[in-house]
Every structure is written in C-alpha cells, then in structure tokens.
Amino acid sequence: MINMTTGGSTGTIMFQVAAEAEKRGHEVFTYSPAELNKSAGSADNPGNGKHFFYSKRIERKADNIIGRVLGCNGMTSWFGTARLIRSLRRNRVELVHLHNLHSYCINLRMLFRYIKKNNLHVVWTLHDCWTFTGHCPHYVMAGCDKWKTQCFHCPQLHEYPQCKVDNSRYQYRFKKKNFSGVSSMTLVTPSRWLAEQVKESFLKRYPVKVIHNGIDPEVFSPLPSDFREKHGLEDKRLILGVASSWGEKKGLDMFIRLAEKMPEDWQIVMAGVSDSLAGQLPDNITAISKTENRRALAEMYTAADVFVNPTREDTFPTVNLEALACGTPVITFRTGGSPECIDATCGIVVPPNDFDSLWAALSDVLSKKRFSPECCRERALLFDSNHQYKEYIALYESFMTNRQ
C-alpha cells in the first residue's frame, strides 16, 4: 500500500486496511515518502511494523520546491521511487493498493512502468479528483469541467497542490498516458458521486467500485461529558461544525451569516479553528482549536443538538458519519458525496449555497427535534469501518482467485 503520508484520514485508512488484511493471513507492506513535519532522525515505524519511508527528507524538500515552482507533480523523486520499486521487487509484491499520490514525491512514470511490465494487480482508492485532472483535487467551486476533455489555463494554480507555472495541459496528458494501459486495475471511490465523475474521465475504461469511508462506532458513540458546562452553554441550542481548516470551501461564511441572524438562545461551536481566525469570530460562535483526540470530538458531537456541514467541495466527509454515530442529526449541502449517508431518519440535505434553505432546515430541526439519537446512530452503523475494510479484502482476494 502506498500513500503520501502516514497521517490524516488517508494514512489511517491505509494502516487499518493493512491490519485487516493481515488478520486474513496476507503479508502487507506499507510505503510513504519521508515525513516533512517530523524531526530529523525520526525513525518511528507506524502501522504494522512493515512500513517503509522510501525517500529521504532532503529529497522530499527538493521535490517540493521543484513541484511548487514548475508544477512537475509526479515527475521527480527518481531516487526515492527507485528504492520503492526495489522494495516491491524484493518483497515479491503481487498487488499494489494506491492511495493519494499527489504530493510531489513519487515518480509516476517509473512506478506505472514497473506495474505494467510486471502485470501487477492494482487497487487505487481515489480520495479526490486529482487522478484525472491536470492539477486540482477538486473543481466544483471553480465550475471547471476541462478535465473531461483536456485541461489548460488552470484557474486554481494557487490551490493545493500549489505551483507557479501552469503545467496543467502537460500534466493531464502525462497522467492519461501513464495511468492508461494497466492490465488489472480497479478504482475505488468513497462515494457514488465520485464514481460518476470517474466514468466521465479518461479513466472510464477501468471498473469502479464504491466503498464508502467508515467510522469506528466504538469510538464515535453517545458519550456523557461536561462540554456544555465547561463552555457555559447549558441553556443553549448548540449548533456544531467541524473541519480541519475553515474557509469558503467549508462554509465559514454560512456560519457567520447564521450567527448574525440566530436568536440569543442558540450558540454555534466551531471545532478546528485556527488562533488567527478565532479572534475574528462573533461572540455567539465558540471557537475550538483543532484536536486529534477522538473522544473529545465524540463528546462535542454528543453535546450538540445538530451538526451543520455547509461544505461546498467534498468527496465523502466522515464528519457527517461521526456526528450521526454520536446520535446527532446532520444538515448538509447537496455537494459531492456529502449527502450519501443522510436519509429521512437522520438529517436534511439542502441545495448548495442556499442560505434560506439552510436556515429553514436548522429552525425545523431545533424546534421540532424530529430526529431521534437512536435513528441517527442506526444510520451510522451502516458505515461501520470494520465492514468497509472487509470489502477491500474481498476485492484483493478476487484478484488472487482470478490469477489462480
């Protein structure tokens, strides 16, 4: 399994799927480039103990500089990718599970040449749209559909993965050439929405399987806490929003508009707020800094009356599932895969950018309380990560059966 980081949601998914595969008797190796945010000399071995950092920190720094200037994503990292390929050969790897590869630190031509030459089976989880565009992981807000035919004059050069030179036309052709012609590859998407996008791209000849992201219902469950008391919110109707970073894409402006209109007995809590943003928010928004403590998050979800997710670009946000698992109903925009875990028993989906509909839905939920915690949790249990990860194992084993 190869991913561009050991952390975040994609790193977590990689290691948890690896652990599930090992339970079934498979030998699994996980790979990522050097972690830039770790101290020099760090040699920890995350996951299953068979994790390899295939590049060195100095190489990754150089790749980042080249990539951010010239837009050469997936075109450098010669030495690191050579080490990766040697390890794949040495470990006699038969199946490669790819995750995110868009962080300037793998040579895609070298990797896919090796995959094609050795007829390796490939499972590729597309966590976003980067695989079939000339630059960007998301394009909904930009209103761009050039990826369907040919990228050029990219309107999002300054969005991740940032670069100074518009290399989108060449990047599109580069990806199309290298990602085409794999004899045995299945693409996995975490949402039906992304699966439909893939079917309109140059990857449409490959089979696509939807495996939704999952959550651990033992971690995210209704928990008693003193969160309300700690923040003086005992008598408030609590509206919660959670994001790793806040901006227009995550609907920051919508929360500010809600704060301007809502009555005094309502209070917004936003988790994941940076120190610089916290000082700019109105008094009826309580800012909570980013936390990796999942119990603390579960306590916040449980304390809330409703979870609001006005995201404008998302593949399949697990925050919706986390809230439901803690018994809290969800209101979300109909964008990307965000609505796919919501039904009539646990929340409301409203048109994107429609503040009036968002306000009406919020008023309805807080006044009638028509969604029970039990129904919300029952819905979330359909996305138990243990079941989702087993779908990956079944996919791996189908490849092995076909080879035999």
Q: How far is CA 402 from CA 18, 157, 396, in A?
A: 21, 42, 10
pLDDT of residue 40: 37
* Residue 190: C-alpha distances to residues 179, 196, 208, 210 (Å): 20, 11, 11, 6
For residue 219, being part of any structural domain is answered with: no
Question: What does the alpha-carbon distance between residue 269 and residue 39 come to, in Å, rounded to a whole number?
Answer: 33
In a domain, residue 287? The reply is: yes
- By C-alpha distance, which of 310, 301, 187, 321 is closest to 240? 301
User: Are residues 198 and 249 both part of a single domain?
Assistant: no
Q: Do 199 and 243 fall into the same domain?
A: no
**Gap between the terminal Cα atoms of the chain:** 22
Helix 252-261 × helix 355-368 angle, to 10°: 60
Q: Say if 1 falls within a structural domain.
A: no
Assigned domain for 360 exists:
yes
Amino acid (one-letter) located at 273: V
The verdict on 294 and 237 lying in the same domain is yes
Cβ distance 200 to 306 under 8 Å? no
Q: 254 and 202 in one domain? A: no
Count of other CB atoms within 10 angstroms of residue 89: 11
Q: Are residues 369 and 235 in the same domain?
A: yes
Residue whose structure tokens are 């807000």: 141
Q: Are residues 111 and 246 in the same domain?
A: no
In a domain, residue 114? The reply is yes
How far, in Å, CA of 342 to CA of 321, rounded?
A: 9
Close Cβ partners of 359 (under 8 Å, ≥ 6 residues apart): 258, 261
Residues 389 and 379 in one domain: no
Asked whether the beta carbons of 329 and 346 are under 8 A apart, the reply is yes
- pLDDT, averaged per 10 consecutive residues of the chain (404 residues), comes to 91 92 94 74 55 92 89 91 97 96 92 98 97 96 96 93 93 97 97 98 98 95 94 96 95 97 97 94 95 92 98 96 98 97 97 97 92 97 94 93 61
Same domain for 335 and 322:
yes
Residue 106 falls within a domain, yes or no? yes
**Domain shared by 134 and 71, yes or no:** yes
Does any domain span residue 369? yes
- Domain hosting 38: range is 8-214+385-403
- Check if the beta carbon of residue 300 is closer than 8 Å to that of residue 323: no
Domain count, the chain: 2
Task: Look at residue 3 and tell me if it is in a domain.
Answer: no
Cα–Cα distance for residue pair 122/368, rounded to 1 Å = 49
The two tokens of residue 184 are: 């045995």
Task: Give the angle 99-349-333 at the CA atoms, nearest 5°.
Answer: 55
At 193, which amino acid appears? W
Give the CATH number for residue 266. 3.40.50.2000
184 vs 214: CA distance, rounded Å: 26
Could you give the C-alpha distances from 376 to 126, 183, 321, 329, 342, in angstroms and in order? 27, 42, 9, 6, 9
Same-domain check for residues 367 and 399: no
Are 83 and 126 in the same domain?
A: yes
User: What's the pLDDT score for residue 368?
Assistant: 85
Rounded distance between C-alpha atoms, residue 95 and residue 97, angstroms:
7
Question: Does residue 74 share a domain with residue 173?
Answer: yes
